[in-house]
Structure 1
């Protein structure tokens, strides 16, 4: 079968390659992959950022995908050939302290599809049955390919904060994690403001068309946002930037007893203005990955916002994979989706 790989010829590149169609083992299924999303972490690995030095080449990337079960290994229950599914791409060891205490999504020995194992930039893949979630019939392949980032956003906004209807919410970052977090807040009838940079203008246009307020933080500070849109302080701040300075500014824009959740992974240390942070009883928490329950919640939410998912995404054919990566890296699209079904078998 034809695949797209990260190759390493001095600089990491995206190249066509071939591989055997994999056969499922016990408790595994073979998936015919229909569409695969491109994530910021994929771009980070492509750019050889230090956080992705562990990615060996050649590697078939892609951890956000939807597929149809095309073959079953031994001992399969609950799923059958023809079922349309998405994969929960975090693979845990099952024996570390986190796994033993119900937090396998933050396993101490975590491995991720598309980084440690070949992923969804291929016509077929083999996946453990334990990692599958059925896709509602109402979702298209393109929409369903966004289940993983939606699940990550759902965990951050609905599990790691006390977000509720009517809350004033500041989302930092207009990329997919910020956009999906804003969309979830909007479905709860929260008062959402998305802050980004000048380069996010195309993404701002999409969000504004969906009725979500956007602010250029190069010309307007987070404190000014708080005064104008949140009566002086936001109930919830969602940081999806990976920038410590943005997060520090976001915490400062939270109200007394407000909270911030961090999805983006910054490098370096966080500088929190400690006296205000303590005296105002503010809270900061991290959020990473997604649990099975987060995936189910995300798919439920997605059924209610198909038009919004279409507006936030753009499809690319395999021949345009590098353009898709560059468009994403340049902030021109929120979520590029690769039509992997067009790759040759």
Structure 2
């Protein structure tokens, strides 16, 4: 492993270790501003809740599980009929395997139907702590069959002084094409300045195409907020926007020419019309996947913080209208301060 300044390269991934006591990286490289980059799910008076890395991964497991489960269940039915005729009422090993495959597909459905919509990371300036919301799932004896169970949850809390940050870059494969991605990851130590890591967690969605600037800006936004150098909400910020959460949006998923927002694609001209017409060929498949995303969103629960944490982070979560009011009020106060300095 090679380590130089804040850069570590182990041959398969790279890590940029980010400072918590300044607004620059090692080697004098300046941070290009502070921005959440659309990773914030909820804003409180003294708290920011970011989504986890996998918040958008919803509906895909159940899409496979429903089709696979129906197919496997039909094969079990056929296999049992053959067993009755050929085995004299016994059960063959093929039937047992098919039953296990059916059970595995039900597990896929359960992953998408039971749980929480996302597992947020809450930066609590009121108590100088970082809280990680975790889904504890269902009891083991409910796995595979209870598709509408009530999931358990837990909250892990750590002192802000024990939190370090890293930008981790890695390679993923989409359609057998490698693509470089980056993510902001918290490395939580057992004590302030310690070397023993006890927890790692991603903050917000990852970034594509080798973008390492955006996760650095996200960390700078968090750092300034937690250390009292920046507000909870700043001008130009946007909250995390999930997709496939309304019925029509889900039904027309991956279809540029139909559904909400299609007018901007129609305005792009003939090439987009041709591409959109080609996409319509896959409409049955895209609608099936989209509706499974919608069903998953409706069946999963919204995460809730314990009362003591809610008391620490204060009022909220705020809606977009309230956030706009906060930004406007901050702008007016800033203008008044500038005018006051000029008069002085």
TM-score over 0.5 (shorter chain): no
Considering only CA atoms, is the larger Rg found in Structure 1 or Structure 2? 2
Using the size of structure 2 for normalisation, the TM-score is 0.24
Q: Which structure features the higher share of strand residues?
A: 1
Task: With a CA cutoff of 8 Å and minimum separation of 6, indicate the structure with the bigger relative contact order.
Answer: 2
Q: Which structure features the higher share of helix residues?
A: 2
